[in-house]
A and B are shown apart, each in its own frame.
Chain A
Amino acid sequence: MFIRKVLLLIIGVALFGVGFSQTPEDALKNAWFIPNGTARSISIGGAMGSLGGDISSVYTNPAGLGMYKTREVVLTPSFLTNNNKADFRGTNTSGINKSGFQLGTAGVVIGGKINQANNSTAFAITINQLASYNNHFHYSGLNDTTSYSEQYLEELTKDNANVNAALNNYPFSSSLAFITYLIDSVADGNGSLIGYRSLVPVGNGNSVRQEYDEINKGGLYEVSFGFASNEMDKLYLGASINLPLSFYTQDINYRENDPTDNTNNNFDYSELTQHHTLNGAGLNARLGLIYNLQNSLRLGLAIHTPSLMTFTDNLDVSMTTNTENYAGTQTVKSSDFPDAASQTRYNETTPYRIIASASYVLHEVENVKMQKGFIAGDIEFVNYRGSRFSAEGDNNDGSLTDYYNSLNDVIKSYYKGAFNFRLGGELKFSPFAIRLGGAYYGSPYKDKNLKANRILAAGGLGYRNQGFFIDLTIAETFNKDVNFPYRLTDEPNTFAQLKNSRTNVLLTFGVKF
């Protein structure tokens, strides 16, 4: 019985060695984002690397916790709205919105002294939604060059797949296209299979209308345990152990249709629907130090280790194609394939980060009426090309190992390391404070034709009195990115230029106790 199961597994893996798997885009989900925090930290662009004294220090430089000799509990609910624009082959789409709640930093910081007046330690437990995946992209336009059906042609011909393989071995891609007659086989004069062709008339004066719709939900959360020490109010050392939790749901609806009224060209439309969930958990650490020079100048350095994460990936795909007189309307789902494995597991190692910071604080004195403000800045390096994937657990299948090695090679060649810049400041008129900040996150893509960046502009107000504090921040994030509806190897690829404007309203409420 056991041997039979093993044989079935081996045969299954051998036969389904060409199914869907992880893509380089997955590497960016948990790496390229502007981290969320408290309203105060976001209002100064997230430049908390050397400042300290805010619970969100856990997420930038945990040495900042060492500033605490008091205790506080913090809650940060926030609300965000997305406004998206897209340019796809000259056709602009706008007004695609999505909104929702987001959890900012919440937790407890407990500071205390050791045995000298200026030495102390602090401890924090926090939870934070570092990144929100909530968004909705939509674009459409005519394409006179390629069709998404060509990715299936390439897949089958590169694998030298015969008809039986085309029917069975690609339950998440080419088999759907073949069964619904989006693509069909090509024979030579002797009736031998020599390749595959698409039913979509495109090129040579013909166009196809392409429409892409993607709805994303979920977020990257992190539960953190931060520790820090303070020596003589000069040197602060900190570390945090963090448990990242990623919950991602993606629904894609892609459609190609014949823009003409011709009902005799064997193609009306083809529609692909994909439901994808990706849930993972892992572990990482952050180490940092802050040195407080004379004249209120603080310097910080922090290192974020890669996150070691394990993901569970579930995928369901269906396709409906209407080829008019050729084969009519056909529908097939990946779940119709008896051996299709809709779930897989894998490991991911996210990129490391290094943050160098400086800040200047006006009047580091106890009397809050004399505290006047600060300015702070961070420079962060993220090695996006350092993401790595591997098979989960004790799965030592050779084809999987080869695949993940290839995937890692693509990540190394497709992405690059990038610098991020954060700058912000506060003016304080106790008990009130006003804040302003911004951030620039560089493109993770090595190819300069792919324009991408993230820009944050934020402002906020704070009130601190009678044992509590409340901070309100409005942050506007401008995200520029690209989206490929499909990719080809031997034809020019097409992509949409996406522009996302995200408004985030954060309210942090905290109590000193």
Chain B
Amino acid sequence: MKKNIIYFICVALFLTSCSTYRSSQTPDDVYYSPAKKVVPADQYDEYQSYTSSSDDDYLRMKVADHYRWSNLDDFDYWYDSRYYYNNYYSYYNPWNTYYSPWGVSLAYNFYNPYTSFWYSPWNSVYCPAYTVVYYKNPSVYYGTRTANSYHLSTYSNHNYNNTNMPMRNGSRSNVYINGNSSRRNDNYIINQNRNNSNPVRLFNNNNNSNSNFNSGSSHNMSSGGSSGGGMSRAPRGGH
């Protein structure tokens, strides 16, 4: 448990250090999601609507690091046929929709040197946030355990009994308090030499062949019913 907490704290601190909003208001996308632009917090003393101008962004970066961004200042960039249909937004927007109807193209983002890299290393292909989760079906095999329809028939029994009979003289009476409660049907019990309180079920029709039946003794019958050797049960003791 301690390890989990430590791991969580480490990950949290690491991620926090990568945020691009550390010196600005943190957007709350439930209310309003601004297009990506970092504005110092002190500019929010009065409400300002966000204006997006990639030209401004470009110039700002060029001023900050002339040599780094100077290679963008060429004809091929501004008039690249891939972006010509709307090039200045493509320059700014890492989610250029050129290859994707969703406007999401990770592959494009990875290979385009003009996107994603200037605000944060998290925007890059090296960012652990770009976790790609691979899914694969587990390898399993089909068994031969099959169906028991008897169990399903029990779901049609909507007769319930959730109360016991009251105790009378230390034992439970078979007189039921709730007259509408269904109780055991003892008609199943035939004239056998056994305790009448032991539940019994009889076949509905006795036309099955049971000539090998051997009541009350050891049943060691491995033939006929099993494909791989039969089960047996231990002989009874005492009876």
Contacts and interface: CB of A to CB of B under 8 A. Distances in A.
Given A89-B164, A414-B155, 16 more contacts: A18-B150, A89-B163, A114-B95, A125-B132, A156-B201, A186-B215, A194-B202, A195-B203, A198-B198, A206-B197, A266-B195, A328-B234, A332-B231, A364-B31, A403-B148, A495-B162
A492 B161 contact: yes
B199 A150 contact: yes
Interface in A108-144: 108, 110-115, 117, 120-123, 125, 127, 141-144
Nearest to B153: A489
A92 interface: no
B127 to A, nearest CB: 8
A198 B49 CA distance: 80
Nearest to A282: B137
Nearest to B134: A223
B64 interface: no
Contacts of A489: 150, 153-154, 156-157
B135 interface: yes
A164 B230 contact: yes
B146 A400 contact: yes
A163 B200 CA distance: 15
B112 interface: no
Contact of B150 (A158, A179, A187, A279): A158
A147 B197 CA distance: 11
Interface in A453-478: 464-469
Contact of A17 (B146, B152, B210): B146
Given A123-B104, A344-B145, A115 B199 contact: no
A378 to B, nearest CB: 15
Interface stretch (B13-21, B55-63, B65-73, B74-82): B13-21
A53 B174 contact: no
Interface residues of B, number: 133
Contacts of B36: 69-71, 112-113
Contact of A19 (B135, B148, B214): B148
Nearest to A55: B29
Contacts of A145: 161, 164, 183-184
Interface string A73-99: 101010000000000111000000000
Given A113-B89, A513-B122, A67 B154 contact: no
Contact of B210 (A193, A201, A404, A511): A193
Contact of A366 (B47, B186, B214): B47
B34 A366 contact: yes
B179 interface: no
- Contact size class for A? 35 or more
B197 A410 contact: no
Chain A interface main SS type: mixed
Contacts of B33: 53, 67-70, 111, 120
Q: Which 10 A-B pairs have the closest CB atoms?
A: A403-B147, A467-B19, A112-B95, A195-B202, A467-B21, A341-B145, A487-B154, A53-B30, A193-B210, A53-B29
Contact of B209 (A8, A15, A162): A162
Interface string B28-45: 111111111000000010
B145 A368 contact: no
A21 B141 contact: no
A121 B103 contact: yes
A186 B200 contact: yes
B2 interface: no
Interface in B189-239: 190, 192, 194-206, 208-216, 219, 221-234, 236-239
B231 A179 contact: yes
A19 B146 contact: yes
Given A53-B33, A368-B31, A467 B200 contact: no
A494 B161 contact: yes
B107 interface: no
Contacts of A281: 135, 137-138
A71 to B, nearest CB: 8
Interface string A268-297: 000000000001010000000000000000
